[in-house]
Structure 1
Amino acid sequence: MSAMSRLLLSRALRAACAAVVLAAAPAAAADACAAGADLVVRAGDPAPVPDGGSTLLHPAVTNAGGTATAVPFTLYVHLPPGVVGTGTSSGATCTTLPHGHTVACTVPAGLAPGASVTAEVRISVASGMDPEVLEGDVEAALPDDPTPDDNRTTFRITVV
């Protein structure tokens, strides 16, 4: 099932739950049917980059669940060999881990339902690389995420 299908099904189930609970106990409807936070990660391919050059990647994480995130979580950008990165974000604190092949952006607790955080990761390709397509990935983890399959995605870096 696709991420979009899971999101639509989740919303439909919450609406059905709310209708049933509302009929029985109106004050309890919102609490009884609230779904937890559900992270969805996306990252489009960055612009092609020349040998020895750099480009930008804009990975994002959205809370597709029914409640705000209760704890901080980290959005990781894993880069392939020959590529290093540095990151910034207005909604997170980004650091480059040793060796430069992973950028970690920590998002504080409280990401509201429907809200997103986007990082800007400058990726630099080593000099002397042959033209090729490299793969990296972006991931985020949140305890009790109901659909962890949509917490990771791959992207391609085209070296020209």
Structure 2
Amino acid sequence: MNKTERYTQLLPQLRALLADDGDLPIAALANTSALLKETFGWFWVGFYLVNQSEKELQLSAFQGTVACTRIAKGRGVCGQSWAKNQTIVVPNVHEHPDHIACSSLSQSEIVVPLYRRNGSIHGVLDVDDTELSTFDDTDAHYLRQVCDLLTELVDFQAA
């Protein structure tokens, strides 16, 4: 199956998985991370959430190796995605300014903002892989849909 076909199969599966987890935000994020990692075999998949003071992102549910626990706004790919309110695709993390190396095995990365229903940023979805140029516009498109589905089905105010 190509990448688009895998995403096309994943989205209804994720919708069904999240149908009963709307009041359990961490469980929903954990299951989303697991489903993405199992479907694509990426190195690391997880979420960083904006803390109460809105000065940093804090590690939340993830699948993969040990990770950085706090990221300042504007720092690294995650902090930049949050500060710029945009998806960032990084073909080679070693060429990206201010990349935070939580693992030396990470070679490429994509970060997608995750919103609350009121439109404010709740956090980011962060995905890393051990291969260069793993992520592209297809991933950006479908991972945006994954995050939008989370926003639709999960009450992040309960987090």
TM tier, shorter chain?
Answer: 0.3 to 0.5
Asked which structure has the greater CA Rg, the reply is 1
TM-score w.r.t. length of structure 1: 0.32
TM-score normalised over the length of structure 2: 0.32
Q: Report the structure, 1 or 2, having the larger strand content.
A: 1
